[in-house]
Amino acid sequence: MNRMKRWTMSVTSWVDGVLAQVENHESAVNAAIGRVRQSTARARVQLKRVERDQHSLRDSLAQEERAVEVWRRRAKSAEDEAVALECMRRFKASERRLQQLRQRLAEHERSHKELSEGIRMLNARLSELSERKNLMRTRQSRAEAAHGMASATGPIGDLEEVFDRWETRVGEIEIASECAEPLDAFEAELEDVDETADLRLELEALRAEES
């Protein structure tokens, strides 16, 4: 009887140890996935800022191009030399600003390309981590099931309480695993903003059709 009790306690300890390791491993993976999602959200925010800056720079660039043409035309047509020289000074200053704006726009375009590629890589990494987590969870469940079948073929005696505890613990993990997807409040807020903007556009299009 004592030997059976010791064996029962040994099996129980093994089950608890395996489940604790699964919980720790999944917690570490979920934390990593959460960090990748946070990084992706920050990159998306930065990408939108770059796009806004690009739009503003393009507007400024168009204005400066018009200014260059205006001062150039005025310098050519001015009959008074002093006026013509002042127009030339402004023409040259406008040209310098135009060159600076073009350089800044080129830098923003490079940043936009790099950020877009970074977001693509982060999304790929996120998919990879999620797939590997699901695969490891499946392998763990299969391994535990195989161990349980092997144990059941031996003289294990009455272990109903052990199996009840095991089933309870596994059930808790299954419930937790369905709800354990890390929630990134910051990303959720951004998605809500995007969704609201899309709804406004659709509403405006709908009103336009009716008018």
Q: What is the pTM of this model?
A: 0.49
Q: Which of 38-52, 59-73, 114-128, 192-206 is least confident?
A: 192-206
Q: Backbone dihedral region of 115: left (phi > 0), alpha (psi from -120 to 50 degrees) or beta?
A: alpha
2-180 adopts what CATH topology? Helix Hairpins (1.10.287)
Question: Would you give the DSSP letter of residue 181?
Answer: S
Task: Report how far residue 12's alpha carbon sits from residue 160's, in angstroms, rounded to the nearest whole number.
Answer: 11
Residue 18's closest CA among 125, 209, 186, 165?
165
Task: Report how far residue 194's alpha carbon sits from residue 187's, in angstroms, rounded to the nearest whole number.
Answer: 11
Task: Report how far residue 33's alpha carbon sits from residue 140's, in angstroms, rounded to the nearest whole number.
Answer: 19
Detail the DSSP E strand segments found in 76-193.
Answer: none
CA of 35: how far to CAs of 25, 29, 32, 49, 183, in Å? 16, 10, 5, 21, 11
Position 7 pLDDT exceeds 70: no
Task: Look up residue 26 and give its two tokens.
Answer: 């999944």
Task: Report how far residue 71's alpha carbon sits from residue 177's, in angstroms, rounded to the nearest whole number.
Answer: 68
For residue 181, what pLDDT is reported? 54
Residues 195-210: what's their mean pLDDT? 75
